[in-house]
Amino acid sequence: MKRKILIIEDEKELAQVLYDTFSQEDFEVIKAFDGEIGVDKFYEEKPDLILLDINLPKKLGWEVCKEIRKTSNVPIIMMTARDSDADEYTGLSIGADDYITKPFNLKILLLKVKKLLKLDDNNIYKFESLSIDIKKGEININSESIELTRREIQFLEYMIKNKGIIFSRDYLLNEIWGFDFEGDDRVVDTLIKRIRKKLGDYNFLLKTIRGMGYSFDENKN
């Protein structure tokens, strides 16, 4: 499953360079050339990460970031020619995860993106002594490997990509099993119970939010 990046950038040449770079790295890439369209694309496409310019037509990057943060923890990297400490502080304080000044090195930006997505070149998610290898289909805790089923891999990849977002049981059924699934919706609960058992001491990562659904969250509380 390709990870999706939304580029909100009004400099069309730069947007195309970014589009080409991330497409070659096997990302699905969506472009928006002003802030208002960027917000619309965010709601329509549900990207895994956003590259956000500040000086945008119609709606500044600051405002775009604030609006997105009302409903989502999707990683946001701000890209701008503004290089003052005050601007960087503002960007990070309103919810951006990282800040990079133009002109920037594309290799460094790519590393920042992969780090924020917590997936390296081999599709491995890492947290403390835990690693989840999506490609191999296994969990590794303190050098002990536990095999995952195809459905468990699908589910974990989706939840890791959307870390911090709460999904209802019905939504997960549609996303993981498909709209034509006609079985018992408790398959979601059963799958999560099975994955939690395999996660061992890290079972807190898959949280049940009472009355709302499920979330993948690194917060131990």
Domain boundaries defined on the chain: 4-116, 124-216
Q: Which CATH architecture has domain 124-216?
A: Orthogonal Bundle (1.10)
What pLDDT does 180 receive?
A: 57
Q: Could you read off the pLDDT of 191-200 as tens digits, one per residue?
A: 999 999 999 9
Confidence of residue 119 (pLDDT cuts 50, 70, 90): low
Spell out the residues 6+ positions from residue 214 whose beta carbon is closer than 8 angstroms to its own: 159, 166, 167, 169, 172, 188, 192, 206, 207, 208
Q: Could you read off the pLDDT of 128-185 as tens digits, one per residue?
A: 889 888 878 899 998 889 998 888 988 998 888 888 889 998 888 887 777 555 666 6
Distances (CA, A) of 16 to 8, 53, 81, 103: 11, 14, 18, 15
Confidence of residue 26 (pLDDT cuts 50, 70, 90): confident
Confidence of residue 82 (pLDDT cuts 50, 70, 90): confident
The answer, yes or no, to whether residue 122 has pLDDT greater than 70, is: no
What pLDDT does 81 receive?
A: 82
Regarding the domain with residue range 4-116, which homologous superfamily does it belong to in the CATH classification? Response regulator (3.40.50.2300)
Whole-prediction pTM value? Answer: 0.57
